[in-house]
Structure 1
Amino acid sequence: MKKILSPLLAITIVVTNFSVLSAQNNNSYKVEKILKIGGIGRWDYLAVHKSYLYISHGNQVNVVNKNNGAPISIISGTTGVHGIAFVPELNKGFISDGRIDSVTVFDLSTNKVLSKIATGKDPDAIMYDDYSKKIITCDGHSNGLSVIDPITEKVVATIDLGGKPETAVSDNAGKLYVNIENKSQIAEVDLKTNQVLNHWSLSPAESPSGLAFDTKTERLFAGCDNNLLVVMDATNGKIVTTLPIGSGCDGVAFDAKSKHIFSSNGEDGNITIIKEKSKDNFVVEQNLITKKGARTIALDEQTHKIYLPTADFETNKTVGKRPTSIPDTFQVLVVEDKL
């Protein structure tokens, strides 16, 4: 994703009930607890698989129990790690290693590294498209996508997007939609031909990062830098509406059961929660206080809980300088609907 913040090596297990930070309105979503991971290092995406959280952290992936933060394993050698994707039917996981232009393949049962796959430059977001049965990386410095066959573990296609990709989502029917950060667009990609079909403008929104999709209503949800979330019709690229969100969004999630859209806003330290009342009717229901730096997000589709990584930060007195994270404060916030 965009900016990777800092608190890896030491892991502590502490689960803290969350109370002080959520002094706000009486809406239904609350921060249930904090999973204390510890260690030092930057972070980006995290992902849920069965009972585990896979968390990008420096040059490794921390695997922890999603319920209590207990350490399960460390997957090392993932230099510049960004994201994690899973292919359960092959019992394989895939990790994007941005600084070494590769993807790490690992065994889902043992978390042991199996192989490395060379990709385009700076693979960032990574996903598994169940329709095409392919792993796809957003290669930020190559302005394109790498399409990987998870069986042969080879790149079978590269797709030039004409701009820097941030996040990709699938319609589960052969189409892919990709946020183009530096052009404020969404690219529509045909995975049957590996061709770009359209570039759709997100204006007046700028610099999109997080992206989610409701396959039933065919609505895309793009979180953008200028405090806007854009709802776009995926059938024609027309903007349905824009909604206000917090500052520093770097992740968007959609819960198909509750019909809620979540924008994680790291600079403001909150989540904007938007209700999809119908395909063309959206309303901001809640701005939940989280913590500074909690900018990426993962939704557990089994429990409908939300996970956000962050850390505690030193007081920064230098104007314009990014705050420094405090060692051993790396953590994951757990959010759920308490109603």
Structure 2
Amino acid sequence: MRRRYLEFMSMGLLLAPIFPLGAQNSPLKLVQTIPMPNVQGRLDHFGVDVKSKRVFVAALGDNQNTVEVLDLTSVKRVATIPGQSKPQGIFYSAEFNKLFVANGTDGTCKIFRADDFKLIDNLPAGTDADHVGYDPATKYLYVGVGDAKSGALWVLDTRTNKHVGDIKTDARPGGIKIEQSGGPRIFVTLAGSTKLGVVDRKKRTQVTTWPVPGTGASVALALDESHHRLFAGVRNPPSLIVLDTESGKQITQLEGVSGIDDLWYDAGRRRIYASGGRGFDTGFVYVYQQKDSDHYELESKVATAPGAGTSLWAPEFGRLYVAAPATEKQPAAVLVFEPQK
């Protein structure tokens, strides 16, 4: 009888949900799970519609190639936008009610109406169109294109859907972070490079590069303008690098999450969220606390799900959304975390 009981308990553990409910006293707590049944393959970046409380998820699996639309009020998927070609970067324009999707395989920026998701335009952007960044002052969308040998920021006017220029970079730019406090700079990662790129968007040129010594290529960035700090996420070795945006000098280096894909700065709590798990059996969000501009502490490692690399920090909602791809045991889902302190 005891053997049968243990077998039953073991089976129950195998069938139990893999998504954690958040440890006691954790800085992040899982408060919702939004399932995406039948979505297969890797998940990439998010877009957000704050007014209508929707998030958009790039599903770039070889047999998937969709953008999934999730309603945060009803906590469910409400639409699927097919016809993508390795969707990666996503931007939603509330002002013009458009959804912009950078597609890597065909190198396009596809533009959809955000009410019925009808295709408006399909513009050639460049090789492996990936990360996007938006400048609300000019209404320009910047799309990173290229490879490890050469790249550019492809610039689109979101008002007119017109391509207005290109800014050449040493390699494909990613992790695009744009100064919002009056400065002209855009900070980017450079594919395959141990350096970060600094672009002047007014002069439309890459003005310098900053070395990140002792690490591999950076893949994600976050920006704290008030303290003049740039955060870079590195996969090899897993590291979080803090740099001074005035000098480009490294301030400190901390343990990083394996398989990092996204990095966010929570200005209200002075925290950094680093989501990783791409290619790993377990995913995590590493939570760092900013003590002051020069001192940081790894506060917690919050378990998520296998392969859950990409995420979105939405300060308007005070929540972190993590994309969890499908496994043999669980359908694809978006995990919704809420800061607890």
Give the TM-score category using the shorter length. 0.7 to 0.9
Matches within 5 A, 1:204-223: 204-223=214-233
Q: Which runs of 4+ in 1 moved over 6 A?
A: 17-20
Deviations 1:102-129 (A, max 9, x none): 1011123333221111111110011211
Q: After the TM superposition, which residues 148-227 of structure 1 pair with which residues of structure 2 at under 5 Å, given as runs?
A: 148-172=156-180, 173=182, 174-225=184-235, 226-227=237-238
SS at match of 1:217: coil
1:169 partner amino acid: K
Query: Could you say what secondary structure the match of 1:99 adopts?
Result: coil
Q: Displacement of 1:67 after TM fit?
A: 4.3
Q: What is the alpha-carbon distance in structure 2 between the residues aligned to residue 229 and residue 217 of structure 1?
A: 17
Matches within 5 A, 1:322-333: 329-333=331-335
Does the 8 A contact of 1:309 with 1:331 survive in 2?
Answer: yes
Q: 1:297 to 1:109 in 2, by over 3 A?
A: same
| Cα separation, 2, equivalents of 1:99 and 1:250 | 19
Return closer, same or farther for 1:201/1:67 CA change in 2, 3 Å cut-off.
farther
SS class of match (1:89): coil
Q: RMSD between aligned alpha carbons? A: 2.0
Alpha-carbon shift at residue 166 of structure 1 (Å): 2.4
Give 1:295 shift. 0.5
Alpha-carbon distance between aligned partners in 1 of 2:166 and 2:136, rounded to the nearest angstrom: 18
Shift of 1:164: 2.8
Instruction: Give structure 2 stretches of 5+ with no counterpart.
Output: 1-15
Counterparts of 1:282-321 in structure 2, within 5 Å, are 282-314=296-328
For 2:38, the equivalent position in structure 1 comes to 39
The answer (yes or no) to whether the contact 1:185–1:200 under 8 Å persists in 2 is yes
1:272 aligns with 2:293: no
Taking structure 2 as the reference length, the TM-score comes to 0.86
Task: Verify the 8 A CA contact 2:18 2:305 in the aligned structure 1.
Answer: no
Query: Given the superposition, is the C-alpha separation of residues 19 and 78 from structure 1 closer, same or farther in structure 2, using an over 3 Å criterion?
Result: closer
For 1:298 and 1:59, the matched residues in 2 are separated by: 20
Q: Which residue of structure 1 aligns with residue 114 of structure 2?
A: 108
Mapped pair 1:252 → 2:251: no
Q: How far 1:86 sits from its partner (Å)? A: 2.3
Identity %: 24
Instruction: Pick closer, same or farther for the CA change 1:18–1:66 going to 2, 3 Å.
Output: farther
Cα offset, 1:271, TM superposition = 0.8
In structure 2, relative to structure 1, the CA distance for the partners of 1:152 and 1:20 (3 Å cut) is closer
* Superimposed CA distance per residue, residues 192-230 of structure 1 (whole angstroms, 9 cap, x where no aligned partner): 011111100112221211111112112111110111011
Instruction: Indicate the residue corresponding to 2:100 in structure 1.
Output: 94
Q: Answer with 1 or 2: which has the greater Rg.
A: 2
Residue type matched to 1:45 in 2?
Answer: H
Counterpart-to-counterpart distance in 2, 1:95 and 1:237: 31
Decide which moves more: 227-236 or 110-119.
110-119
Kindly indicate whether the alpha-carbon contact (under 8 Å) linking 1:60 and 1:81 is maintained by their aligned counterparts in 2.
Answer: yes
Matched, 1:145 2:153: yes
| DSSP 3-state at the match of 1:272 | strand
Q: Deviations over 1:241-296 (max 9, x none)?
A: 11112211011011111111011111341111011222112111111111111101
Distance 2:299 2:324 in 1: 24
2:263/2:275 contact within 8 Å kept? yes
Hey, what's the Cα distance between the residues in 2 that align with 1:28 and 1:61?
30
Paired residue type of 1:198: T
Per-residue deviation, residues 152-175 of structure 1 (Å, max 9, x unmatched):
222211122112322210112321
